[in-house]
Structure 1
Amino acid sequence: MTASLKKKFPRGISPVGIAVLMAVVLIVWLLLGDWRSASDEAPMAQQVPAQKVHQVETRWSQAQPITREQVLQGQLQPWQQVRVMAQVTGRVAQILKQQGEQVTAGEPLLLLSDEGRGQELEQARAIFRLRQKELASARKLRASNYVTETEIIRLEGEVARAQADLSAAQLAVEYNRPVAPFDGVVDRRYVEIGELVQPGAELMSVVNVTQLKGTAQIPQQDAHKVEEGQPVIIRLLDGRELSGEVRFVSLAADPQTRSFYVEVEADNPELWRVAGGSATLRIQLAPVLAHQLSPALLKLGPDGSLGVHAVDDEGRVVNYSVEVVSITDEGATVAGLPTNVQIITQGAGFVDPGQVVDTLVVPVGDDAKDPDMVESQPLPGMGAAE
């Protein structure tokens, strides 16, 4: 057996060495095969998993014109109101107008005792005439150089002083009969016949309520909406209404409340007794195109503004900033959306602006999937679009 093996293998090479040599040759052959395969074939491209497209439910909403209102709580005042006061000392001699009576501008209201003012007026007139004659005579003598220029100037001053005294005396006599400052009604009387009054004492109060003045304060964030000339509906506490318009909006805010003063004028043809009372001022703002939707669809942005997610014509999510016009039991009415828009009603919380989505449009009137999905209907107070 040993002798036969020695005859088959050359001398000096054992069977173990042959096995090792064959193993080395096999490894080299395998490595050469892998290298050739790598150099002949390009590596397979890495497959990127396809991005998942979210599906959202949407509905089409058509904007409708709506008339907005700025509601303010204010008060009504007479268009004109003055307290007539005494300007001279005297006793009330006669009351010419009673409370509730109509008066015209310049009409006497009562009569005060003269207290010698009539005599002072006559004296002032006489002195004024005397000073005028003295001046006229001096000017004639001046032409003949019998009177100096200085004397003429002194006499002119005396005439001016006499004229001022005469005007004061005339006013004092006129103050014996206080008059109405404008057309109106005697609202209050504060004196009685025989009562002694001093300058500054209140005699009567005269008001003009054929027109009323409504005043209120508007918050600074809403002041830009109100302009002069806008119509106003004034609702009284008992439900009655008056029509008016904005007459004035202050340019500077109150430093305490940071609000702006608003003044409204309204006619009061029936002379309702409402001056001094509270009222609701409903200022009619310019109409806007608005959509009605569920308040749950409103999203709060990073900057604190409200927005609504919708889908554009390319199937991408768009967030529109909106302004809430009103909120009622029927939903929120918002402005700022396109006239015709595809609003996301389900799945808005799982998508971001710019993302492509697959839409499932809910038909108009189909509220089986979402009770909040109601197609925009004509809103209260809507008129034809301007």
Structure 2
Amino acid sequence: MLKRMILMLIATSILFGLIFGYKAVGNYFMNDFFDNMPTPPATITASDVQLDDWFDSIPAIGNFRPVNGTTIPAQIDGEVIAIRFENGDVVEQGQALFVLDSRVEQAERERLAAALSIAETEAARLEPLFARQEVSESELRRQQSQVAQARAALAMQDAMLERKTIRAPFTGVVGLRQVNLGQYVTPGTELVSIQSFDPIYLNFTLPERFLSEVERGQSISAEVDAFSGQEFKGEIRAIEPSVRESTRTIQVQAQFENPEHQLRAGMFARVRIDSEESREVLMIPRTAIQFNPFGNIVFILVEEDDELVVQQRLVRTGQSRGDMVEILEGLELGDRVASSGLLKLRNGSVVKISDDPDLQPSASTNPQPANR
């Protein structure tokens, strides 16, 4: 009985040993198969290192300001009896905008004009009498003084009447009026704003280190969010003579022609000042670069054993233009780099290049919305 049990235990041990041995051998060969199985090539797009002529530029941000702009106030009190413009109209310098009731002032003018006439008549009567020494010189001078006072009072009344008509101080575009017909206004009451948009100024600041690179008459470009993709050309007209000590910046003012009134006062603008001389640069698409704190990396394509593989390379980048980035160090003309699919690449990865144009990233120095 004991011998039979020992034989059964031995047989069971041999059986389990065979089972576990089989699994161990199978796992070994399976792992060896997967370890030696070739990795399929990663699909990427590629771009050649390109040579281009770039004009060095100075970027800045600024705001548009009107050449002339103000809110027109009432200078005298009175009731608004006429409004001679529509909101948003282009008005000419001197054009009447508001008329205030002036009937009382007009009547006072007529009284003063009559008083002046009487004073002038009396002075004219006294002059021949003074010549015949029938009146004293002091009496004649007194009457002539009354004439001068009457004339000054009439001129003052005329000035007051002139202020009853509020006119445009310069040619420009009026905004939304702040008063209505029949409303009584007092000195200082805001009536309407007016802005001169053509031409228009752009004010911006630059770090003081760029002072030697800007000058009056230099061309600049500006872009605004309201007209995305459209570039406006202007010219530097003034440079502040002093540097702001608190920020170490200089104030610059440019002028833009604006016949269609696309640019408005207060608009935010991105400014670019281009140099007059170009320089040759090597450039690649921005998508071909992995930007890292420890350095920027590209994957350059090389042939190895009839396979296309990538090698990591550190590069030093410069300025950017649209989708393209300047390469200062690390690449040469004729090199080819991976431009998409970088996240699945490692140093030495085997790759294949896709011919699908839809996968090719944009590579323009001046991309437009229609290009994307």
Give the TM-score, by structure 1 length: 0.57
* Aligned-residue RMSD, C-alpha: 3.4
1:186 to 168, 174, 186: 174
Aligned twin of 1:268: 258
Counterpart contact for 1:94–1:110, Cα < 8 Å: yes
1:81-160 pair list within 5 angstroms: 81-114=69-102, 116-160=104-148
User: For residues 366 and 87 of structure 1, do their structure 2 counterparts lie closer, same or farther at Cα, with a shift above 3 Å needed?
Assistant: closer
Query: Partner amino acid for 1:269?
Result: P
Query: Partner amino acid for 1:158?
Result: Q
User: For residues 138 and 274 of structure 1, do their structure 2 counterparts lie closer, same or farther at Cα, with a shift above 3 Å needed?
Assistant: same
> How far apart are the structure 1 equivalents of 2:98 and 2:334?
78
Counterpart contact for 1:242–1:268, Cα < 8 Å: no
Which blocks of at least 5 consecutive residues in structure 2 are unaligned?
1-51, 284-316, 336-364, 367-372
User: For residues 235 and 366 of structure 1, do their structure 2 counterparts lie closer, same or farther at Cα, with a shift above 3 Å needed?
Assistant: closer
Aligned twin of 1:330: 326
> How far apart are the structure 2 equivalents of 1:150 and 1:167?
26
Any idea what the Cα deviations from partners look like across 1:162-208, whole Å, max 9, x if unmatched? 22211111122122221112222221201012211101111111222
- The count of aligned residue pairs is 252
Any idea what the Cα deviations from partners look like across 1:186-244, whole Å, max 9, x if unmatched? 21201012211101111111222232211112222212321111111111123322111
Which blocks of at least 5 consecutive residues in structure 1 are unaligned?
1-63, 294-324, 334-344, 346-363, 368-379, 382-386
Counterpart contact for 1:213–1:263, Cα < 8 Å: yes
Aligned twin of 1:371: none
Range with bigger deviation, 127-136 or 226-235: 127-136
User: For residues 132 and 235 of structure 1, do their structure 2 counterparts lie closer, same or farther at Cα, with a shift above 3 Å needed?
Assistant: same
Any idea what the Cα deviations from partners look like across 1:88-143, whole Å, max 9, x if unmatched? 11112222212012222222112212261111111121222222223333332232
> How far apart are the structure 2 equivalents of 1:285 and 1:213?
21
- Relative to its length, the structure with more helix (as a share) is 2
> How far apart are the structure 2 equivalents of 1:332 and 1:148?
99
Q: Alpha-carbon deviation of 1:278?
A: 0.1
For residue 116 of structure 1, give the secondary structure of its aligned residue in structure 2.
helix
User: Which of the two has higher C-alpha Rg?
Assistant: 1
Query: Partner amino acid for 1:142?
Result: F
For residue 100 of structure 1, give the secondary structure of its aligned residue in structure 2.
coil
> How far apart are the structure 2 equivalents of 1:71 and 1:366?
30
Any idea what the Cα deviations from partners look like across 1:26-45, whole Å, max 9, x if unmatched? xxxxxxxxxxxxxxxxxxxx
For residue 195 of structure 2, give the secondary structure of its aligned residue in structure 1.
strand
User: For residues 200 and 290 of structure 1, do their structure 2 counterparts lie closer, same or farther at Cα, with a shift above 3 Å needed?
Assistant: same
For residue 286 of structure 1, give the secondary structure of its aligned residue in structure 2.
strand
2:273 to 278, 283, 288: 283
For residue 68 of structure 2, give the secondary structure of its aligned residue in structure 1.
strand
User: For residues 267 and 144 of structure 1, do their structure 2 counterparts lie closer, same or farther at Cα, with a shift above 3 Å needed?
Assistant: same
User: For residues 366 and 247 of structure 1, do their structure 2 counterparts lie closer, same or farther at Cα, with a shift above 3 Å needed?
Assistant: closer
User: For residues 254 and 164 of structure 1, do their structure 2 counterparts lie closer, same or farther at Cα, with a shift above 3 Å needed?
Assistant: farther
User: For residues 76 and 284 of structure 1, do their structure 2 counterparts lie closer, same or farther at Cα, with a shift above 3 Å needed?
Assistant: same
For residue 84 of structure 1, give the secondary structure of its aligned residue in structure 2.
strand
